[in-house]
Copies of this chain bind each other. A is one copy, B any other.
């Protein structure tokens, strides 16, 4: 298996991508990685880390870099030799099985869509990520690729989410819920209602509406929403976690006795931090494209970036896109 890594994406570029590459290569013997970016910079960074002649690391030259704040249309039109562009091209040509990038999400989606296109019958790709819950991980999509969705799009997200959940975490028959609001007098908007009908009539394990609280209760495997709502939910969750971490830090540093307590509880607090470590869940999938593309958080460190590479590996190994294609084909057959 070969995966391309955008060596220039994210806040840290090669200084994060290369150590992450090294740790994943040590774990997967059949893996080869292609670092995409300016060859000089990559060679220098490899030398720094003593990895200049790793037999399973290749370099592919790309002279340009998409900046975090680059306009998407600019990135598309004027940076045809960016590391993202070249990486996506490698996927298209079958030289690699997938691409991982920590760069600008909008540009990555637009470039991937332009070069790879969507899988047959899929209207819109979606961004999906796994979230921790009191049970196993829950997959949530869309997280911001599609602001205005119709009910058909939401229905397709349901199928895409199920296949992805099965591919990455091996859930046999993932349950699907539609993110909605609980007030009895409104029960969500029309788009959600119609998508719910379609999901109910499908072969999927559809469990109905779920609310914001339910995402983390481990009772649903796939949560579907439009990209606006999904993005707000994801970031609100991150903000809440930051706030609680802030309060916890405050409580354990408020006084000398508190600091002593923190010292005595340090091992427990470390275990706790590990459980809520968002790095474990790094690696959002760009689902529905005719090729595997994974987006890492821009601020990811080497550990987090290695997790994003592993998400791509799971998708390739479990032939996610083949399953997606046959799932959509079956659906069309039923409809005919």
Contacts and interface: CB of A to CB of B under 8 A. Distances in A.
Interface in A1-32: none
A70 B237 CA distance: 31
Contacts of A132: 243
A170 interface: no
A106 B186 contact: yes
Q: Helix, strand, loop or mixed for chain A's interface? A: helix
A201 interface: no
A88 to B, nearest CB: 16
Interface stretch (A78-86, A90-98, A213-221, A327-335): A213-221
A180 to B, nearest CB: 8
Nearest to A106: B185
A189 B227 CA distance: 10
B147 A189 contact: yes
A115 interface: no
Nearest to A218: B243
24 contacts: A105-B183, A144-B182, A145-B183, A182-B231, A183-B231, A211-B235, A212-B235, A213-B239, A213-B242, A214-B239, A216-B243, A217-B242, A229-B232, A233-B236, A237-B237, A237-B240, A240-B244, A241-B244, A247-B272, A250-B272, A251-B269, A252-B265, A257-B268, A258-B267
A336 interface: no
A228 B188 contact: yes
B184 A106 contact: yes
Contact of A181 (B133, B189, B211, B227): B227
A272 B246 contact: no
A40 interface: no
A252 B273 CA distance: 12
Interface string A106-146: 11011000000000000000000000111000000000110
A261 B265 CA distance: 5
B246 A134 contact: yes
B72 A231 contact: no
B184 A72 contact: yes
A271 interface: yes
Nearest to A266: B261
Contacts of A105: 183
Given A241-B244, A251-B268, A251-B272, A213 B184 contact: no
A184 B188 CA distance: 27
Interface string A180-207: 0111111011000000000000000000
Contact of A133 (B189, B229, B243, B252): B243
Given A189-B228, A212-B235, A213-B242, A265 B267 contact: no
A233 B228 CA distance: 11
A182 B105 CA distance: 10
A319 interface: no
B264 A104 contact: no
Contacts of A212: 231-239
Interface in A45-84: 69, 71-72
A231 to B, nearest CB: 4
